[in-house]
Amino acid sequence: MDIDLGDAVLQIGLRVKGLRRHSTRWRIGAPRDTTEADRVILGPPYNLNPGRADFAMDLQADKKVTLSVQWTDEVGNPVATPDGATAVYTVDDPTVIALVDNGDGTAEASATGTLGTANVHGEFTADGVTLRGDLQLVVVAGLAERVSIVAGEPEEVTPDA
């Protein structure tokens, strides 16, 4: 329940003792360079989920990251992946992030080179419970690697007479 207090909102919740609390925790691999093949924009279906992101990450325009799932117990201790667990990844803007769902609980998110924001949505199912989470990837410019000399507008050196 939310109670509006003007500049703040008081949130009141109810938790049942002993009831499993589920959450999504993203594990992101180290960013690494991409190739042209990583930047291919895949076709539909796209997941258009405008909900809030559970985690946000900046990714340089020439990098990619591996996404994976880490299952934990109620207090956050890592546990083995439950039998029959599934993970499905989708992206809402494939012009910013090219996403490959490997079908084994991992995915690879590659920046296409276009600056912008894309949300990777994950649906994780185990023991009849489906958890959902969103990772917001903000594609930012990479490091300076090239230089260009930019010529200004030509100007008259000597007056025309």
SS (H, E, C) the chain: CEEECCCCEEECCCCCCCCCCCCCCEEECCCEECCHHHHCCCCCCCCCCCCCCCEEEEEECCEEEEEEECCECCCCCECCCCCCCEEEEEECCCCCEEEEECCCCCEEEEECCCCEEEEEEEEEEECCEEEEEEEEEEEECCCCCCCCCCCCCCCCCCCCC
Q: What pLDDT, on the 0 to 100 scale, is given for residue 30? A: 66
- Within 10 angstroms of residue 66's Cβ, the number of other Cβ atoms is 16
As a whole number of angstroms, the distance between CA 138 and CA 153 comes to 35
pLDDT digits (tens, 9 = 90+) for 12-25: 877 676 666 666 66
| Confidence (pLDDT) at 41 | 59
User: What is the pTM assigned to this prediction?
Assistant: 0.62
Give me the residues of the chain with pLDDT under 70, please. Answer: 15, 17-30, 38-53, 161
pLDDT, position 22: 61
Could you tell me which CATH number the domain at 22-140 has?
A: 2.60.40.10
Q: Which pLDDT value is given to residue 64?
A: 92
Question: Domain residues of the chain, as ranges?
Answer: 22-140
Sign of CA dihedral 95, 67, 57, 25: positive
| pLDDT at residue 100 in the model | 94
